[in-house]
Each structure stands twice: as C-alpha cells, then as structure tokens.
Amino acid sequence: MAHALPALPYAPGALAPIISEETISFHYGKHHQAYVTNLNGLLEGTGLEGLSLDELLASQDKWPEAKKAGIYNNAAQVWNHTFYWESLVPGGSKPSAELAAAIDAAFGSFEEFKKKFIAECVGNFGSGWTWLVKKADGTLAIEKTGNAVIASTGKPLLTCDVWEHAYYVDYRNARPKYAESLFDIYDWARASQRFAA
Ligand code: MN3
C-alpha cells in the first residue's frame, strides 16, 4: 500500500493571514506531496512497501544501503510535515494547566519560552526544524534539527518548519517575523494531549 498525503486538518485558507492559502498550496500541495511521491518511488521493489510510516522509520536496519539517505530524507519529511500541520490550528489554542506549568518550570514563563523558541528558530542555521520536546524525565526542552532530521532528544510536542519554503511566500526573508507569527496559530491543546499521553 502506497503512502498517501494525509489530509490537512483544516481548510487551506484557514491559517491566513499567518500562513496564506498560497503558501499552503505550495508547501502542502507541492513540497509535502513530493516527499510522499518520492518515498513511494524509493520503496518500490524493496519489500518495505507494506509498512506504515512509523513502522518504516522504526526499521532502518532493513533499508537497502544504496537508498538509505533517500528513504530517510523523504520518510522523515513526510512525518515532519504531517506533524507541522498538526502543530497549527486556525486561531491558535491554549496549553493545559499541566503543560503551562511545565513551560514555566523549564523556561521561567511562557513569554520567556516564546522568546527562546523564536530565537532558536531564527538561529537554526539553514534548513531544518525547531521542536519543543518532552524529555524522558518529563521536563521540556527545545531541540533544533537540520534538514529532514526528526527530533530525537524527547517526544515532540510542537514544531516550527524553518525551511525557506515555509515562509518565503508570506514573509520573504523575515524568518523572525514568521517564527513569531506562528505563536498566533500554535495548537497548544494538541501539544497538551501529547504532553499528557
Ligand atoms: Mn517544509
């Protein structure tokens, strides 16, 4: 069974003006779709076609050597983008009392966390992802990864795609403005469910 582009969890124009429908048409409709298409092409004839995305990512030892980088980059980008769309919601939402308390404990206050997270998005050199993760000991941390790499220091709760294709249509080169604007549409309710799970 081939991998499919997951449905967007809201209408394509619903995040505007923070993320325009035009950005969604390219970022979701072209980039995310291309990772799915490329992944299906790479998996053809490998015997790995029947695995779910999570199963595939958990069985890297079975990947053919010559295709390892390609499979990782495309599979991870399918996963990262699905997670990114699910990190956002029209109008934004609020963290649970438990997650809010964990943010205060780790960063001092939500405002301090926001400043730090934006700085880590801006300071993530080149293309990649900036994550809020829940570490094994239950505390929170910010992790930066490059290119397609999925967060690995903890369970991802929320992400910011810092590839230029995520913001160039709407913000041109202003990555700080993009990183700050996402705070109007982060889905803290969903991040809270992940934190509690
Ligand atoms: Mn992207």
Please give the backbone phi and psi of residue 109, each rounded to the nearest 5 degrees, phi first: -165, 165
**Domain tally for the chain?**
2
Distance 48 CA to ligand 1 centre (A): 25
Same domain membership, residue 55 and residue 129: no
Residue 152 is part of which domain span?
A: 97-196
What separation in Å is there between the alpha carbon of 32 and the centre of ligand 1? 7
| pLDDT for the residue numbered 127 | 97
CB-count burial class (<10 Å; 0-12, 13-18, 19+) for 179 = buried
CA of 120 from ligand 1 middle (Å) equals 17
Q: Give every strand in the sheet of 140-146, ordered side by side.
A: 140-146, 128-134, 155-161
Domain boundary among 86, 110, 133: 86
In a domain, 55, yes or no: yes
Distance 81 CA to ligand 1 centre (A): 6
The confidence score (pLDDT) of residue 178 equals: 98
Q: Are strands 128-134 and 140-146 parallel, antiparallel or unpaired?
A: antiparallel
Look up the CATH number of the domain holding residue 109: 3.55.40.20
- The answer to whether position 9 is within a domain reads no
Residuewise pLDDT in 10s, the chain (197 residues): 699 999 999 999 999 999 999 999 999 999 999 999 999 999 999 999 999 999 999 999 999 999 999 999 999 999 999 999 999 999 999 999 999 999 999 999 999 999 999 999 999 999 999 999 999 999 999 999 999 999 999 999 999 999 999 999 999 999 999 999 999 999 999 999 999 99
Cα(97) to centroid of ligand 1, in Å? 30
Report every protein residue that has its C-beta within 5 angstroms of ion ligand 1: 161, 163, 166
Alpha carbon distance 101, 171 (integer Å) = 32
CA of 159 to the centre of ligand 1 (A): 11
Crossing angle (nearest 10°) for helices 97-107 and 188-196: 90
User: Do 62 and 137 have their domain in common?
Assistant: no
Cα–Cα distance for residue pair 12/32, rounded to 1 Å: 14
Note whether residue 2 is domain-resident.
Answer: no
What six digits make up the tokens of 92? Answer: 């934004």
Q: Which pLDDT belongs to residue 1?
A: 67
Give me the DSSP letters along the chain.
----PPPPSS-TTTTTTTS-HHHHHHIIIIIIHHHHHHHHHHHTTTT-TTS-HHHHHT-GGGS-GGGHHHHHHHHHHHHHHHHHHHTB-TT-B---HHHHHHHHHHHSSHHHHHHHHHHHHHTS-SSEEEEEEE-TTS-EEEEEEETTPPP-SSEEEEEEE-SGGGTHHHHTT-HHHHHHHGGGTBBHHHHHHHHH-
- CA 192–ligand 1 middle distance (angstroms): 23
**pLDDT given for residue 107 in this prediction:** 98
CA distance 197 to 177: 32
Are 188 and 102 within one domain?
Answer: yes
